[in-house]
């Protein structure tokens, strides 16, 4: 401890997670030892230091266990593992596709470059975007001092006292991103945006059509503003014409981005997404790398490539692999037997694909996407009201992405990171697809309320994310039909048969496994933390009291539709927006299943539909009816195996279910 307090840290303290990661573009040739010493001297005792120390200890324990396991493998086990590893590699090799041409476009220091464009005085000064708690990115001048993304601002200030930190302005970055994406669509209408500053494009079809393009359509004008600010004579160089090759297309793309936004971008051109991603980082800033569709040249490059240059291998994976003397992609192949024995099937498959330079040659279509999400890093927020407002802001962004993709999801995922750098993920699934802000916000606030309750009102966050998974194509007809159905029945509520809702169980899952891989690394996000699974919750809607008011004391009776909590306490915020703008029905409506009436002055259609999801699942009803028809088993035994219902109620319930099934049919 005396050694730490004096700041004279040993070299062993400078390794692992807390050491500077200089793999970012513009950080080559730095004095890592000096920078690491400054980082350590100014973080000892801080939350950042304690968190990194804790996580590094966990990694070291994993490494120790891995080494102990490795010593126990017999020669026969290693021989069998080698054979199986070679079989996997052979199957991967058969999947190698060199027929496609993928471009990965990555904007150079995007947020910082946008700020420099709008404030030219910042161009010659070290500058970063973010806050004292965390930086989102830094310009290339700041990177010379070791300042980089995902670094706390107070540490960056110690590395570079002259550093200027500019607050984030996501509205501005989104606008610029949309300008870039409008250009991407000219080359691939199905381009895959990974974040605001990067995207994959499959230009295979464009190259086939490009040979028919006239010179005029391959010629673009220079931006007058750029010409006026340079020594170039506008009359001598008014336009630029591009050729027909993949390199020409990439240059044309980058040229058009620069002329429209005054920003630069780097690109990687390759037969698959992994190589394209690697290529876009090799010649930053404002450069591009081309990989010929030739296996031998790809293998020659990949063998000597550092594993840290591969997207998907982070600090932890790097340390685990380094313990096995794996530092390059060629080493992945040499140690394939050990990898097979020590890592999961998914990890092995990824490592083997990396060793061969193989990955997907087809961009993931909307129908193949498993999730959509958004997240933000911000200065510490502990006020529950502000946390709910931040969640609402994220929901607005998420819904915009959902509408663009025209999808809906069945699982809402909330991700948070505390000021102690502890990351947690909660998720909740429902039976039908959701896609509106009200629906997502309703569940998201419910999940956030649980976190606030667990922290006893002392939850302080520095990152929050919201997303949906289990995606499917959106069905607007479903919303319309539900509205028409209940509107048409509102005058017949008196004659509607009542069902004892004790037989209707709604299960709400907080399984964070559904959240895995939802949140992808961007310049605005910190490295992924280990996700903490939450226990499953079951909501038993007795007499439907819980659909009216949040259960704030018993998490075992939490309803995903917290609607009318009117208390003024900070952790009892109204879940729904009750303004006239969000009211989607004008008259009171009554649930035909449980007879609970929803006031038009207080509830939205999205909230009403969430309640219906709790009482009604078309798939489950059909299964029950089909099973009852095949087995002649009483309906009540399937709904409530512990309690037999009176025959009269069973008949009423059965008739009601048949009416609903007939409606949906």
What is residue 24's DSSP assignment? S
Q: pLDDT tens digit string along 490-523? A: 444 333 333 232 232 233 333 333 443 444 433 3
**pTM over 0.75, yes/no:** no
- Domain map of the chain by residue range? 1-72+131-161, 76-98+295-363, 105-125+167-290, 366-483+501-582+605-615, 621-664
The answer on pLDDT for 310 being more than 90 is yes
105-125+167-290 CATH pick, 3.50.50.60, 3.10.450.40, 3.10.110.10, 3.30.70.270: 3.30.70.270
- Element (H or E) spanning 202, and its range? strand 198-202
Which residues in 350-443 belong to E strands, given as ranges? Answer: 371-381, 407-418, 423-434
Q: pLDDT tens digit string along 122-138? A: 999 999 999 887 888 99
155 Cβ contact list (under 8 Å, min separation 6): 39, 42, 43, 48
CATH (residue range 366-483+501-582+605-615): 3.30.1490.100
Does the domain formed by 76-98+295-363 have CATH 3.40.50.720? no
Residue 32 — very low, low, confident or very high, per pLDDT cuts 50/70/90? Answer: confident
Q: Which residue has the tokens 């703008």?
A: 581
Q: For residues 329 and 303, is the Cβ–Cβ distance under 8 A?
A: yes
Q: Is there a cis peptide before residue 42, judged by omega within 30 degrees of 0?
A: no
The answer on pLDDT for 660 being more than 80 is no
Residue 485 CA: distances (Å) to CA of 327, 618, 653: 62, 14, 19
Between CA 360 and CA 362 the distance in angstroms is 5
User: How deeply is 475 buried, as exposed, middle or buried, from its count of CB atoms within 10 A (0-12, 13-18, 19+)?
Assistant: middle
Largest Cα separation within the chain, whole Å, is: 92
Q: Is 366-483+501-582+605-615 in the same CATH topology as 105-125+167-290?
A: no
Question: Which residue, 47, 46, 45, is CA-closest to 419?
Answer: 47
Question: Which residue, 188, 171, 40, 195, is CA-closest to 107?
Answer: 195
Q: pLDDT tens digit string along 181-229? A: 999 999 999 999 988 999 999 999 999 999 999 999 999 988 876 655 5
């Amino acid at each position: 401890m005396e050694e730490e307090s004096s700041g004279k840290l040993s070299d062993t303290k400078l390794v692992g997670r807390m050491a500077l990661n200089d793999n970012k573009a513009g950080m080559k040739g730095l004095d890592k030892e000096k920078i690491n010493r400054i980082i350590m001297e100014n973080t000892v005792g801080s939350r950042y230091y304690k968190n990194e120390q804790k996580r590094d200890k966990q990694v070291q324990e994993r490494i120790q266990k891995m080494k102990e396991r490795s010593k126990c493998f017999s020669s026969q086990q290693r021989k069998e593992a080698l054979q199986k590893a070679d079989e996997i590699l052979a199957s991967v090799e058969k999947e190698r596709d060199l027929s496609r041409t993928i471009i990965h476009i990555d904007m150079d220091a995007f947020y910082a470059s946008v700020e420099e464009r709008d404030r030219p005085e910042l161009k010659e000064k070290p500058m970063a975007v973010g806050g004292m708690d965390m930086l989102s990115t830094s310009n290339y001048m700041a990177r010379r001092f070791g300042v980089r993304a995902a670094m706390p601002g107070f540490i960056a200030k110690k590395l570079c006292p002259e550093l200027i930190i500019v607050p984030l302005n996501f509205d501005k970055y989104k606008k610029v991103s949309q300008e870039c994406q409008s250009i991407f669509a000219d080359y691939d209408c199905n381009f895959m945006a990974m974040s605001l500053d990067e995207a994959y494009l499959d230009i295979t079809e464009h190259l086939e059509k490009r040979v028919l393009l006239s010179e005029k359509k391959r010629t673009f004008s220079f931006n007058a503003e750029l010409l006026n600010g340079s020594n170039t004579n506008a009359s001598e160089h008014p336009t630029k014409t591009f050729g027909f090759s993949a390199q020409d297309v990439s240059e044309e793309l980058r040229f058009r981005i620069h002329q429209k936004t005054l920003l630069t971008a780097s690109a990687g051109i390759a037969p698959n997404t992994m190589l394209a991603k690697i290529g876009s980082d090799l010649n930053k800033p404002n450069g591009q790398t081309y990989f010929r569709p030739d296996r031998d040249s790809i293998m020659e490059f990949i063998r000597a490539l550092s594993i840290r240059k591969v997207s998907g291998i982070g600090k932890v994976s790097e340390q685990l692999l380094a313990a096995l003397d794996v530092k390059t992609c060629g080493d992945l192949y040499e140690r394939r037997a050990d990898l097979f024995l020590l890592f999961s099937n998914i990890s092995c498959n990824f490592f083997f694909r990396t060793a061969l330079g193989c990955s997907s040659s087809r961009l993931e279509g909307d129908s193949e996407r498993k999730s959509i999400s958004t997240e933000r890093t911000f200065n510490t927020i502990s006020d529950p009201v502000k946390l709910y407002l931040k969640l609402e802001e994220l929901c607005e962004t998420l819904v915009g992405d959902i509408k663009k993709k025209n999808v809906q999801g069945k699982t809402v995922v909330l991700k948070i990171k505390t000021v102690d750098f502890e990351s947690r993920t909660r998720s909740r699934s429902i039976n039908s697809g959701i896609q509106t802000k009200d629906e997502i916000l309703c569940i998201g606030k419910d999940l956030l309320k649980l976190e606030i309750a667990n922290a006893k009102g002392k939850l302080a966050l520095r990152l929050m994310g919201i997303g949906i998974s289990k995606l499917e194509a959106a069905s607007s007809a479903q919303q319309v039909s539900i509205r028409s159905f209940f509107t048409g029945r509102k005058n017949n509520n008196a004659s509607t048969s009542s069902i004892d809702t004790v037989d209707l169980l709604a299960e709400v899952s907080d399984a964070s496994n559904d959240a895995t891989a939802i949140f992808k690394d961007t310049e605005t996000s910190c490295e992924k933390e280990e996700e903490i699974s939450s226990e499953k919750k079951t909501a038993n809607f007795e007499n439907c009291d819980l659909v009216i008011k949040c259960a704030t004391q018993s998490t075992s009776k939490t309803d995903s539709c917290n609607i009318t909590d009117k208390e003024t306490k900070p952790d009892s915020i109204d879940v729904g927006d009750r303004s006239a703008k969000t009211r989607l029905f004008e008259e009171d409506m009554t649930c035909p299943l449980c007879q609970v009436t929803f006031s038009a002055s207080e509830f939205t259609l999205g909230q009403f539909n969430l309640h219906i999801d709790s009482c009604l699942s078309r798939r489950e009803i059909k299964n029950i009816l089909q099973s009852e028809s095949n087995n002649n088993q009483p309906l009540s035994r399937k709904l409530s195996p512990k309690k037999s219902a009176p025959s009269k109620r069973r008949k009423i319930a059965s008739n009601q279910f048949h009416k609903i099934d007939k409606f949906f049919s």
